[in-house]
């Protein structure tokens, strides 16, 4: 057992050391050649391709849960991971087992010499995607649920030409140095996953982005199905999430009762993500009970996740995500006040340096207005230094209760020591932060 754990750790370290980007982006043809060399083309299984700025992982979680409830074998590829790189590979609802992970790693690693000589070494994300496709070859799922990385048009996952369905989640400003500096430009990159004649379901909350997606779908002769919050009627907050009613997609003139959907996350924005998955499932022909049960049973850590009484983790990591987080956090505090928990709001905040951290900090200070803020730097080399973070927070902060910690473990200790039963704690700013917090909690539990 110890030897296997060491092998997995070495494999993870090898992959983490691979450059995120190459000097020359691999073309789709080169990526298809890599799959050919690995004999890892997807075969005849259904492929659901998911792109967008925020909500991709949640939609993948909802969809895979629905498909499993309907009795289908699934393989799901998502990113990033929180604790273990194995989280990115989920087969029938379970992380890839150690043996399969090592076999896929060794096969891609061994073939990398051939890649380097013929078409270049895979980048970090490409290497992981190729590992996933080897796992698909071995396990033969009936459906693949495939999340893009940061893009769409040039994303490694887009080398798969035969997809069953495309889904595009909410669009907002993120990765602007790579994808463009407007919602329209970013939407154009995300819409690059749309394939000729293949239906696309999309979040239409951003009108400019929705227009780009509609135009792309029309040019390729695709059915375009929008999903909007207004379709979620009787949207109500509950102790463990939200519920709403929605009319199903129907042939013209056919009548059917509304579906009742329960979303197991304390974040209103997850209602639209659930609706995107619901519409996708309808087009795939999934039965109503599988859809509603699948959504209700979905699990997706680090997204408005309550880890104990009054402590929440959310991986919001860009301006759009922070805005939605604030709405969710305010709703949580309102509910807790009704339950008698009328204490302080405490914020633990940290970000990576290539994000719009000044705007994120400003939104938190103006709209959440925490009673106490704890700032720290992430272990990741991309982590923003605390001085810059404090300056961003202080510029928009009307209260002076700001604490600084050198690392996440110390920041978490401050929060846990300060928190009283009636207080509410929110940890937000990066999925890297959520991962480090989870590592600290696991380490404390084992000590």
Rounded to an integer, what distance in angstroms lies between the CA atom of residue 417 and that of residue 400? 19
Confidence at residue 39, expressed as pLDDT on a 0 to 100 scale: 95
Q: How far is CA 313 from CA 175, 267, 291, in A?
A: 23, 11, 26
Confidence at residue 238, expressed as pLDDT on a 0 to 100 scale: 84
- Complete domains list, the chain, with CATH: 2-296 (3.40.1190.10), 305-446 (3.90.190.20)
Please tell me the number of Cα atoms within 13 Å of 235 on its side-chain side. Answer: 17
Tell me which residue of 335, 351, 366 sits closest to 434, measured CA to CA.
351
Confidence at residue 23, expressed as pLDDT on a 0 to 100 scale: 47
Give the distance from CA 319 to its chain's centroid: 15
Q: What is the pTM of this model?
A: 0.91
How many C-beta atoms surround the C-beta of residue 172 within 10 A? Answer: 19
Tell me which residue of 288, 291, 296, 204 sits closest to 243, measured CA to CA.
296
Confidence at residue 253, expressed as pLDDT on a 0 to 100 scale: 47
| β-pairing verdict for 372-375 and 259-263 | unpaired
Dihedral, CA atoms, 280, 281, 283, 286, nearest 10 degrees?
Answer: 180
Rounded to an integer, what distance in angstroms lies between the CA atom of residue 70 and that of residue 44? 18
Beta bridge partners of 349: 375, 428
How many C-beta atoms surround the C-beta of residue 53 within 10 A? Answer: 26
Tell me which residue of 65, 68, 97 sits closest to 84, measured CA to CA.
97
Q: Tell me if residue 245 falls in helix, strand or coil.
A: strand
How many C-beta atoms surround the C-beta of residue 417 within 10 A? Answer: 7
Rounded to an integer, what distance in angstroms lies between the CA atom of residue 103 and that of residue 123? 19
Asked whether the beta carbons of 26 and 119 are under 8 A apart, the reply is yes
Tell me which residue of 354, 375, 363 sits closest to 329, measured CA to CA.
363
Confidence at residue 1, expressed as pLDDT on a 0 to 100 scale: 56
Q: Where are the alpha helices (DSSP H) in 239-314?
A: 270-284, 288-296
Q: What does each of the 447 residues of the chain score in pLDDT, given as a tens digit?
A: 567 788 888 998 999 888 877 644 557 888 899 999 999 999 899 999 999 988 999 999 999 999 999 999 999 999 989 999 999 999 999 999 999 999 999 999 998 877 777 778 889 999 999 999 999 999 999 999 999 987 788 899 999 999 999 999 998 765 445 555 688 888 999 999 999 999 999 999 999 999 999 999 999 999 999 999 999 999 999 878 999 999 998 765 455 789 999 999 999 999 999 999 999 999 999 999 999 999 999 999 988 899 888 999 998 878 888 998 999 999 999 999 989 999 999 999 999 887 788 889 999 988 999 999 999 999 876 788 889 989 888 765 555 689 999 999 999 999 999 999 999 999 999 889 999 999 999 887 765
Kindly give, in sequence order, each residue whose CB lies less than 8 Å from that of residue 98, ignoring residues fewer than 6 positions away: 4, 7, 8
| Structural element, H or E, at residue 227 | strand 224-227
């Amino acid at each position: 057992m110890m030897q296997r754990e060491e092998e997995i750790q070495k494999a993870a370290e090898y992959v983490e050391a691979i450059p995120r980007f190459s000097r020359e982006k691999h073309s789709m043809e080169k990526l298809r050649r890599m799959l050919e060399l690995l004999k890892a083309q997807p075969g005849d299984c259904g492929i659901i391709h998911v792109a967008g700025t925020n909500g991709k992982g949640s939609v993948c979680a909802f969809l895979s849960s629905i498909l499993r409830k309907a009795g289908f074998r699934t393989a799901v590829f998502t990113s990033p991971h929180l604790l273990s790189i194995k989280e990115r590979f989920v087969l029938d609802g379970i992380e890839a087992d150690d043996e399969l992970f090592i076999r896929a790693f060794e096969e891609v690693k061994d073939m990398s010499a051939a890649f380097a000589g013929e078409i270049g070494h895979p980048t970090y994300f490409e290497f992981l995607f190729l590992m996933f496709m080897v796992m698909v070859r071995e396990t033969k799922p009936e459906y693949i649920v495939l999340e893009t990385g940061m893009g769409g048009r040039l994303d490694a996952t887009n080398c798969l030409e035969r997809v069953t369905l495309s889904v595009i989640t909410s669009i907002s400003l993120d990765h602007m140095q790579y994808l463009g500096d407007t919602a329209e430009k970013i939407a154009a990159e995300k819409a690059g996953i749309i394939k000729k004649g293949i239906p696309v379901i999309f979040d239409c909350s951003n009108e400019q982005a929705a227009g780009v997606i509609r135009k792309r779908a029309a040019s390729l002769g695709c059915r375009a199905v929008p999903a909007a919050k207004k379709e979620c009627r009787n949207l109500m907050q509950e102790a463990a999430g939200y519920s709403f009613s929605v009319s199903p997609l129907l042939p013209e003139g056919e009548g059917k009762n509304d579906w009742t959907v329960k979303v197991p996350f304390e974040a209103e924005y997850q209602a639209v993500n659930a609706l995107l998955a619901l519409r996708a499932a309808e087009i795939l022909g999934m039965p109503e009970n599988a859809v509603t049960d699948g959504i209700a049973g979905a699990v997706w850590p680090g997204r408005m996740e309550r880890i104990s009484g009054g402590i929440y983790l959310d991986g919001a990591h860009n301006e759009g995500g922070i805005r939605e987080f604030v709405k969710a956090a305010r709703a949580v505090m309102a509910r807790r006040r009704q339950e008698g928990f009328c204490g302080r709001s405490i914020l633990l905040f940290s970000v990576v340096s290539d994000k719009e951290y000044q705007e994120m900090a400003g939104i938190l200070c103006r709209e959440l207005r925490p009673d106490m803020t704890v700032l720290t730097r992430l272990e990741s080399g991309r982590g923003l230094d605390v001085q810059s973070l404090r300056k961003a927070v202080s510029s928009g902060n009307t209260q002076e209760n700001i604490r600084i910690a050198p690392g996440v473990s110390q920041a978490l200790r401050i929060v846990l020591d300060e928190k009283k039963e009636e207080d509410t704690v929110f940890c937000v700013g990066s999925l890297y932060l959520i991962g480090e917090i989870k590592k600290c909690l696991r380490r404390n539990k084992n000590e």
